[in-house]
Structure 1
Amino acid sequence: MSSHADPGKLSTAACVDPEVDLGTIPLIALNVSVRKKLGLYLNPRNTVAADWMAVAEAMDFTYLEIKNYEACKSPTKVVLEDWQARCAEATVGKLLSILAEVERKDIVEDLRPLIDEDVRKYCESLKKKAEPPVQVDEVDSCLPRTTERLGITLEDDPEGAPELFDAFICYCQSDFQFVHEMIRELEQTDYKLKLCVFDRDVLPGSCVWTITSELIERRCKRMVVVISDEYLDSDACDFQVKFALSLSPGARNKRLIPVIYKSMTKPFPSILRFLTVCDYTRPCTQAWFWVRLAKALSLP
């Protein structure tokens, strides 16, 4: 591909629509393989060409943030994740512009075919989601029937308004005892909050990912993330957090609230590092824990 190609447009070889503006494609479209290859180019400290530090500075990360990233195994990977979570302008087009700005057009040229392919797949997935499912006449005639996103929780009325919640609780099974305590403190007291606890409130039989995205995006005002060592190994929790962050870049509406209730041996997840944490492990502030959490969940 020519170095003079417009970084904001897809090549016709990669996508049927040559007018796709990469400035509208969120960074989440880039898969793991492309991010790893970016790290191979940018992670090594280089006195001749710009490395990950120059890219992070162009993304408006502070000096202290950049110094902290030095301890990461792959600073490029963490910088991309944090930029994606905190910045509404974190798009594929903006990333390509930054690489050009720091004079790393070699990376753009080498990885552009892979980036275009990821964007093509992302655009196709959006089109598939937008298309109504094809129904066979024999199946469609079987009544009564509810759609995939209706009748998914205990108190849902398939013919009425969907059940709404104050917060979706993101947790792994080993932390369920603390979730029970959260239910007692927030639902069964004067706070009268309504929590969405997957094992308690969601009906069985539907696609987990479809239900989860529906609840997080449309049914719950906020998400409480119960952080623990076990949480860091959970693919389901990882999906839920990244999906919620994509709905609220830069935590503009305080959508995510990380909670720590026991000591950890593993590092705190970098993708949530910029959010204020509600910490139950500090004895000096434990008495205020539930009050602060309830107040945060009660905000409009």
Structure 2
Amino acid sequence: MALFPFDLWTIPLVALNMSVRKKLGLYLNPRNAVAADWMAVAEAMGFNYLEIKNYEASKSPTESVFEDWQARCADATVGKLLSILEEVERRDIVEDLRPLMDEDVRKYGENQKKNSKPPLQVPEVDSCFPRTSERIGITLQDHHEGAPERFDAFICYCQKDFEFVREMIRELEQTEYKLKLCVFDRDVLPGSCVWTITSELIEKRCKRMVVVISDEYLDSDACDFQTKFALSLCPGAQSKRLIPVIYKPMKKQFPSILRFLTICDYTRPCTQAWFWIRLAKVLSLP
């Protein structure tokens, strides 16, 4: 019997098709008092308690966990998944689904080989200097010879709330507070992977993150990823790293994952006079 030609530890999780993911959900979604379920798998993947509790509302928590895991972790590979399933003692899943996984990996590998082309040898391009890595040169003020640009806060928002973000810029940057905000549409250069540069900015370039909560925010996959990623950096929010802001009434339920945090509420007339002062103060903290 020929050896399997692919190293599963180098095959990204994206190689697994939806049919396999749904079957994994059939095994892991039901809460099980005897065998490990999706919660145990999520914990082994590095998700914290609050993130795991938030996934309970998903139609298929297993599929949601897999999607977020492959978006935020460089080592989210098929080999790593199989290792986690072994770790939580779900060898039954490995035995039942391994043939299907191997078939998906085989198709993925063949497509990669088919679509790969030799690099174009152009001396002018090859000799260009400097070479900018994925995590350097991602904002307007970045310079290849200097320190990366840093900010007081990353602003997490959806496009329909951008007018309020403009007001935030006026109130916090163009007044005596002189804060420096990272506003994606204004400050980030095009051409890089959104998930990579977003995680770089939130984790290493910004002291805090302001989350503009609205009904539209709840439908945004980008906002969902940014919020969960920021929460994973500060379990329990000990560092006041994430500040939820509400600026207009909501029809939908406030996200449960943020309910333990103090909200900066612009919708209450009695506290509007102190809104910007409070927000500026927390963003100015070391």
Which deviations, in whole Å up to 9, do the C-alpha atoms of 1:27-85 show, x marking residues without a partner?
x99979466434323444679x65859859x99x99xx97x98765445567889999x
Q: For the residues of structure 2 that align with 1:280 and 1:218, how far apart are their CA atoms?
A: 27
What secondary structure, in the 3-state scheme, does the structure 2 residue paired with 1:226 have? Answer: strand
Change (3 A) 1:153 1:45: closer
- The answer to whether the 8 Å contact 1:257/1:275 transfers is no
* Percentage identity across paired residues of the two chains: 63
- 2-side partners of 1:235 and 1:71: how far apart? 15
Pick aligned residue for 2:153 from 167, 170, 174: 167
TM-score if structure 1 supplies the norm length? Answer: 0.59
Whichever residue aligns with residue 174 of structure 1, its letter is K
Q: Which residue of 1 aligns with 2:173?
A: 187
Task: Normalising by structure 2, report the TM-score.
Answer: 0.61
CA shift, 1:175, in A, is 0.4
1:297 corresponds to 2:283: yes
Secondary structure of the 2:170 match is helix
For structure 2, the 5+ residue unaligned runs are 71-79, 109-118
* Pick aligned residue for 2:220 from 228, 231, 234: 234
In structure 2, distance between residues paired with 1:70 and 1:167: 29
Distance 1:70 1:193, change over 3 A: closer
Residue number in structure 2 paired with 1:129: none
Instruction: Give SS of 2:209's match.
Output: strand
Q: Residues 296, 76 of structure 1: CA spacing in aligned structure 2 closer, same or farther, 3 A cutoff? A: farther
Structure 2 CA distance, aligned partners of 1:253 and 1:111? 42
CA 1:44 to 1:173, structure 2 compared with 1: closer, same or farther past 3 Å? Answer: same
> What's 2:85 paired with?
96
Q: How many residues align?
A: 255
Could you say if the C-alpha distance between residues 72 and 196 of structure 1 is closer, same or farther in structure 2, counting changes exceeding 3 Å? Answer: closer
**Kept after mapping to 1: 8 A contact 2:130/2:144:** no
What stretches of structure 1 move > 6 A for 4+ residues in a row? 28-32, 68-71, 78-84, 113-118
State the SS of the aligned residue for 1:257: strand
Give the C-alpha shift of residue 171 in structure 1: 1.4
Aligned-partner Cα distance in 2 for 1:156–1:298: 22
Q: Contact 1:278–1:293 at 8 Å: present in 2 too?
A: no
Mapped contact 1:263–1:281 kept (Cα < 8 A):
no
Deviations 1:188-226 (A, max 9, x none): 3333211011222234x4325254344334322222222
1:169 and 1:223 in contact (8 A); partners too: yes
Q: 1:80 to 1:267 in 2, by over 3 A?
A: farther
Q: Would you say the 8 A contact 1:259–1:277 is kept in 2?
A: no
Structure 1 position 233, deviation (Å) = 3.2
State whether residues 155 and 210 of structure 2, in contact with CA within 8 Å, keep that contact through their aligned partners in structure 1. yes
The match for 1:110 is 96
**AA paired with 1:175?**
D
Please name the residue that 1:3 is paired with: none
Does structure 2 conserve the Cα–Cα contact (< 8 Å) formed by 1:280 and 1:289? yes
SS in 1 for 2:169: helix
